[in-house]
Amino acid sequence: MICCSKKLKAKKIDHDYSAHSFPCVFIKAKFYKCSNCNQEYLDLGDDHKINKEICDYILSKGCIDRMHLKFLLKNLFGNSMFEFANAVKTTPQHLKSLILYKSMLDLGLQQRIVKAILEHFNKVTVSKAN
Ligand SMILES: [Zn+2]
């Protein structure tokens, strides 16, 4: 980060991301402050990194609830709803009815969603390494 023609030093902080995800979710971020003009900068990293940290939080909860599912569909699997539904052995219609509180989110489906999250991030990590 450059400000006033000077390279700023990053300070590592935990940024409260609750408002954009779930209560008590903190995202690792870099904070910069220019000593010359007092301008402040916050670098949260890219969407993939942010989503991964939020998913780590979801996985740490030990169960998937409707709000988690809603987040996953919006941020992770939204562009591949059919593939995701297939991977967790259900249908897009059923996923939507879960979010709308019209169906029960059973344990088997929760476990398949956990597996899909893990596979999602493994896949991306592998393709990055290539
Ligand atoms: Zn500055």
Between the CA of 41 and the centroid of ligand 1 the distance, in Å, is 10
pTM for the full model? 0.84
User: How far away, in angstroms, is 20 Cα from ligand 1 center?
Assistant: 28
Residue range 106-121, pLDDT digits in tens: 999 999 999 999 999 9
What would the DSSP string read from start to end of 22-78? STT-EEEEEEEE-TTT--EEEE---HHHHHHHHHHHHHHTSS--HHHHHHHHHHTSG
C-alpha 3 to ligand 1 mean position (Å): 4
CA of 12 to the centre of ligand 1 (A): 19
pLDDT in tens, 30-47: 999 999 999 999 999 999
Residue 126 above 60 pLDDT?
A: no
